[in-house]
Structure formats: structure tokens, C-alpha cells
Amino acid sequence: MIILGINAYHADSSACLLVDGEIIVAVEEERFRRLKHWAGFPSESIRCCLHEAGNGLSDVDHIAINQDSRANLGRKIAFTLAKRPDLGLVLERLRNKRQRASVEAHLAGSFPDASFRGQVHRVEHHLAHLSSAFHVSPFAEAAAVSVDGFGDFASAAWGVGRGSEVRVDERVHFPHSLGIFYQALTQYLGFPHYGDEYKIMGLAPYGEPRYLKEMRRIVELRGGGGFRLNLDFFRHHREKVDYEWDDGSPVVGLLYSKALEDLLGPARRKGEALTQEHKDLARSVQAMYEEALFNLLNRLYERHKLEAVALAGGCAMNSVANGKITRNTPFRKVYVQSAAGDAGGAIGAALTVWHRLNPTAPRFEMAHAYWGPAFSNGQIGAELERRRGEIEGQNCTIERIEDERTLLEKSARAVAEGKVVGWFQGRMEWGPRALGNRSIVCDPRRADMKDILNLKIKRRESFRPFAPSILREKVAEWFELDDDVPFMMKVFPIREEQRARIPAVTHVDGSGRLQTVYERTNPRYYRLIQAFEAITGVPMVLNTSFNENEPVVCRPGEALDCFLRTKMDVLVVGDFFVARQEVG
């Protein structure tokens, strides 16, 4: 049975292909369109899934989409009758509903020479999120939680997964949302772009939670684990807020009202310097989110007494909060898959349909995130040869090193010498994190490496941290918690005695957003880190995404483009070692 799962008409559009309940391919549309968080119908992702699996559209039995306009319909009608929101808001939602009504029409337009004869299934947004977390987790039984902005008129859902079934206990409905709270405060602090919330998470450790009292006026916690917003501080429930989800980067209009500025003071404007007050506000926003999350999780544990929890939704990308769950709740095991946000809904929708149709089938565990396209050395070599003149014109050399040990030792030596190394290998990662196949790799021991990276490549805010990739068996020696973190979704405290040894990956509060690396799932990256450890005694490297203010690179040509237009020192792509020669 072949099931195509899609996340469409929303940010981070994506597609995946399941064959007999196992993921074969999973990709995000932004990697092909080259626009961050691309929103719309994921035609290129679908094309990639079919190509990589060797299938045509006519081979697909079922299509599952993580959106069902019929979900929570009673709540929608009741809200409209009771609140009488702005007519523009109602008309906008009706227009979106009509646009999303026909997956078949979009397929026909994108694949005019193919035909789909199967069945389309619409899966409620948060049920897809819960499935995307639990159904690929290692747990036979676990609590399951989805928290995000909005989807199908809800912002959160939680319950229990057992075997092939996910049961929803409760939901939080529109207009109340922790995702909207965090996004609105992100806008208030001067970061207006969709997806900028991670900047607040990075800024928070520089401040103190001095505004937590004010945050508790904005978010009210409920006894059963839920929450409500004080709607006086928001616009999204009564006015038409501009949303652009059509074939491009998503744009969200201003979510907060003037009352928020009356409470907290004037919003930070474009170009305005970051003050200690802004840093304290960021810390307070993060503290309020954590308070709400832990309240939900503690009530959920009290109800079911399970040791494991699986998280999904855009808020599950909050790796700082995720890393604190086992210290602030009774849960002992936490699983967050690599595309926890809306992209992951493609997998959740597909798995929901699979388990409905095959309730006794075994579960699939996602132990790694390498589900995208790969490129052979033949393809890579052809691209390098085609552009040899351009490469050599920048005083770079090309060398093919077929002996892996030699390639890894030379690469590790370059990292140990303080060089910035682009590392392009194997299948592209699923989700926003570079996990050793589309990564930039550097020496974590250099205190100046963050500045070097920001100057040479990333050109991003100086307060944002870089992450360590560490050999799994060495975690306990370097971090205060010993856990599996294959998808870089948890932040842990670095042991105090080790922090001075790895300043480039130690955040201002002594923490690090680690990725645990396993030989069984990424042998080449694992052995690169081993080679670096043999030289330096440090079993980790600094790992950041292979990009420059763009989506993570997908194809060899994009990796080469990024290498040539930046001041990267080395590009290791497949078995090829491209090095920029030092002048002088």
C-alpha cells in the first residue's frame, strides 16, 4: 500500500511517501523553491517523493492531508455567532476554505500527464501532529501532546497513544493559543518574520524573567492543563490579520493590540538596538511558555501515569523547554521527531490513514532524519567538472579521495585547524535541523568561532548560539543529562568543568542544543567526529546548517554556490574535497 502524505496551504509545505507503513521519502518544499518556510501546494516535494521511490502518481493508493475543514465545525459556528468578528476575517477564512477544498484539482494542475485514482483523506490538523509524534516514536504507549499556532480551529490537543491508536482527551480551541502568544511577543520584540520565534529562545538566556507577572496577565493557566489568552492584548480573534500562504514565504500581520504596548511599553522598532529590557522580556516570554507547557504536562501525567511523552506542533520546536521536561515533570522519556512543526503533519496524516486501514500492522520507528534525496559521486563529479573554471578561478582545488579514512582524516584536520568546512553527504535531512548531511562543521574549542562563522557565512544575530554534534556514548562526560537527542530538539546544561573547553558551542547560560550522533544511522559523520576526537581529544564538532540566509542546501550545485559566494574554506561533497587555497 502506497500512501502520499502532504502538508499543504500552510507554512513549511511538505510531502512524504509511505510504503506498507514505512517512510521511504520525506521532504520540504522550501528546499526546492529556495524560499524559507514556503507555503502552498507541495508539488515539487510530491515530485521528489515519487521520483526517489520509483513510483508514479497512478501507483499511489491514498493521499492524506493534515487539514480537515469539517473539524471543530460546531466550535467555529458558535464562535462566529457569539463574537461577531470583523466581516473581513470571516470572508478571509471562507476564501481559504474554498481554496483548500480540492487536492485533486491541484494534483491535476501540477501533474497534467498523470492520473490519481485513489482516495483522498483529510486528517484533522492536531490529530496529524499527534500521530507524527507518537506513531514514529520508540514507545508502545505514551502521552501525546500537540501545541502550535492554529490548525482546524484548535491550537493544542493532548491524549494518549497506545499501539496503533491515538486518542485525544482535550483540545484548546481558537482564539486561545500558546503559539500565537509566542509569535505576537516575537513581533513585539522586533522580529517580524514568520519563524523568528527561535531568536527569542536564543536571546532569553541573556535576560532575567522580570516581566513574568505581566506575562501571567497575558496567559492564564487552567486547572486541567489548558490555558487561555487575555484577548485584550491580541487582534487575531476580532480583526482581519493579514496572512499570506499562497506559493511563497508566509507573511503574518501584526497579532498584538495597542493594549500590549500599554502593558509592556513601546514595541521595539526595526533597527532599534537590543537593550537589557528586551532581553528580560525575551526571558519572561520563554519562562511563561515553559510554565504553561509544564502545567499541561503535569496534569497529563496525573491523569495517565505514563513515563513517556511524545511532542509535536510548532511549539515542540522549543528545544530549551524540551530539555527541561524531565526536570520539571514526572515524565522520564521525551520524544520529538525532527520535523515537529507543520511539515511533520505530512507524516502524521499518512500514518493516521495507514493505521486506520491496518490497525494490527507493526509500528514504524523514526530513528534518524535522513529521508531526502541523495546524489551519487558521479553526479557530484559531473557538477564539479562542469564548473571547474569557476572553482579554479576562485583559487580553489578539487581532489577526489576514494579512501574514506583519508578523506575523514583530512576533513577533521581542516576542522581542527580552525577552518570552516561545508559537509554535504548522503540523503538530505527531514526537518529544519542540519544533522550531519547538509551541515557546516567547525571547531567547538575556538572562542572566536561564532564570530568567524557570522562574519564568513551566516551573517546573523550575534546572540544566537551554535550547536554541538557529539558521539552518543560521550554525552554523559560533557552534559549534565544523558539522553538520546538525535534530532537536536533538546537543550541540556554542559558540565561546568567542560564549558571552557568548548566555548563555541556553550551558550551564555552554560547550555548547548546537542545532537547525539550514532554510527548505525550516520556512519560517515560519526567517523568524522571520531577522527576529530583523535586529533583534539574532544568528541564533538560545532554543527550549523549549510546555508546563508536561505533554506538548507539540497543539491550539490547549491552547496557549491554557497561555498563560492561565502568565505568557507573547504567543501567536502561526497568523496570530493574542494579547498580554498590560502593567499600569500
What letter represents residue 196's amino acid?
D
Mean pLDDT score, 196-207: 96
Residue 357 CA: distances (Å) to CA of 349, 352, 354, 480: 13, 9, 5, 43
For residue 69, the model assigns a pLDDT of 80
Between CA 343 and CA 561 the distance in angstroms is 26
For residue 461, the model assigns a pLDDT of 80
The neighbouring-strand residues paired with 63 are 4, 120
Same domain, 332 and 351: no
Whether residue 76 is predicted with pLDDT greater than 80 in this model: the reply is: no
DSSP string, 90-141: HHHHHHHHHHTS-HHHHHHHH-TT----SEEEE--HHHHHHHHHHTTSS-SE
Q: Which helix or strand (DSSP H or E) is residue 252 part of? A: strand 251-252
Which is nearest to 56 in space by CA: 4, 8, 11? 4
Domain range enclosing 283: 146-339
Where a domain ends, among 281, 310, 339?
A: 339
Residue 443's domain is classified under what CATH number? 3.90.870.20
DSSP SS3 for 417: coil
Same domain, 154 and 260: yes
Of the listed ranges 61-70, 211-220, 474-483, 489-498, the one predicted with least confidence: 61-70
Average pLDDT, the chain: 94
Same domain, 168 and 286: yes
For residue 377, the model assigns a pLDDT of 98
Residue 67's domain is classified under what CATH number? 3.30.420.40
The neighbouring-strand residues paired with 136 are none
Between CA 368 and CA 336 the distance in angstroms is 12
Cβ 46 vs Cβ 104: under 8 Å: no
* Residue 307 included in any domain: yes
Mean pLDDT score, 527-536: 98
* Residue 232 included in any domain: yes
Instruction: Find how far residue 390's CA is from the centre of its chain.
Output: 34
Same domain, 457 and 321: no
Query: Cell digits for 202?
Result: 536564543
Same domain, 253 and 303: yes
Cβ 36 vs Cβ 68: under 8 Å: no
Same domain, 170 and 266: yes
Same domain, 513 and 381: yes
For residue 102, the model assigns a pLDDT of 77
Question: How are beta strands 154-162 and 141-151 bridged, if at all?
Answer: antiparallel
Mean pLDDT score, 299-306: 98
Between CA 47 and CA 42 the distance in angstroms is 9
Mean pLDDT score, 412-418: 98
Same domain, 493 and 563: yes
Residue in this structure with the C-alpha cell 522520564, named with its chain if needed: 332
Predicted TM-score (pTM) of this structure:
0.94
Residue 217 CA: distances (Å) to CA of 220, 238, 276, 288: 7, 19, 22, 10
For residue 93, the model assigns a pLDDT of 54
Query: Cell digits for 401?
Result: 579521495
For residue 86, the model assigns a pLDDT of 65
Taken as a whole, the chain contains a residue count of 584
Mean pLDDT score, 196-203: 96
* Residue 363 included in any domain: no
Q: What is the pLDDT of residues 337-379, one digit of tens each?
A: 999 999 999 999 999 999 999 999 999 999 999 999 999 999 9
Number of structural domains found in the chain: 3
Same domain, 506 and 433: yes
Q: What are phi and psi of 187, to 5 degrees?
A: -60, -45
Which is nearest to 579 in space by CA: 426, 427, 401? 401
Confidence grade of residue 532 (pLDDT, cut at 50, 70, 90) = very high
